[in-house]
Structure 1
């Protein structure tokens, strides 16, 4: 995440004084009729493709990305400078391999707020959304996303924060990436609502005696692949959310623990290591949806 933010920020700095394109590109991005009628199997004939300003991308490609950047340009949008990329799926996309990404970085959530409001004004209320901003009340951990669908097109705006590039003062804030993505519905991951797990756990002493633990609550975010505690703050590392299992690790001042939850049976197993001693844990989890208060 930090590497991605650094790369975006350095690129924006490098083109900050480049000649900007007209507002026509921004107008196309907000044109509901254009996206509603766009045939993604013929994206090369679209107005987006034929817009002026595209140049071949010759920079490094992220090896772990499912897409590669083919063309890019900088565009003015919402009173700031954004980078626009035309991307192509590396493999397996069939007749709709193309996508458009538009993104920028800032030291606050202001640009994210503007992008959300701008898209809502043009495409209506989002079909799905995730917003942890108010719960955390901090730009240190921003995880926010919203999704719109029109015709064949899925539009997603995603806002994420990471570490500052160079911390000079205690008042430095993490950089927030605001990214708008446009693609065929089959090419963009759909936003799933956060759900809650209520887990009953027991740990076993070396002599085999089991000790019941208080009920534990986890919030599971399949879109951002994170787990949150009861305060809805991310606490886990090595999070892997798969169709059949959820696994994660957690550190504390007393030790280190690793867990695995079977999504089919609801069973949970794990180990807690304190110093040179490890304890086995087991239990069951129940899904509670939606992840909101009952009263």
Structure 2
């Protein structure tokens, strides 16, 4: 498996995947060898990790994220690949269709573009004074532009001006966030991408320092101190990946396994951060949260 999440962030997800594999009869050191390669979310690092893994000629590859899958496809050949967190794999040319992927790749899509409107609505619901949102996006992720266009459109429909800023490193992220901090009634949003995950601590510390309400796709952000997240139940997703891996290892062709869309989402709100930002979370929104961090 190749992932651009950090080791700490991946620990519970790796555990969920291996726990499910054990339930299905696969045990490390017995009939399973699990090789995890962590890479930075840049094409060179992802390509190097993918190439070194493919050289081992594994029975199955797992690719987390669109950039990782793009890198892995250059080397995987006929080795079956289960992907996850890949937005619109048909548009990317990864599979022929969601129901009949064909070839040697199948897996689980990322967020649908329509979820961007939900992020805008939630940020506006937690702080009704918000009039603009700075959206941080990774230019190297080919799903960033369509996601940004959708969120900008959703913002216009609700009277919120969404400004997309493409960033590639910590310095550019800091400039974007400090720019948001200089705007009145502004919030901040990140896209589902490994780049903000890599710089999560920086994003959380700056948004709190500058008193900027923010929303993110990953629950690791509010658990680290950001205001809120609305995203996938990641441990459950990794368990589903394990189930697909089991079926392929037992002889099912990837072409016969439909690409599945996420169905379970969770809202996490950090109440301590809300207090820091001077925000009183509306009772109805708090009641709808899957987790409220005190």
TM class, shorter-length = under 0.3
TM-score normalised by length of structure 1? 0.23
Larger helix share, 1 or 2: 2
Whichever of the two has the greater Rg, that structure is 1
TM-score normalised by length of structure 2? 0.23
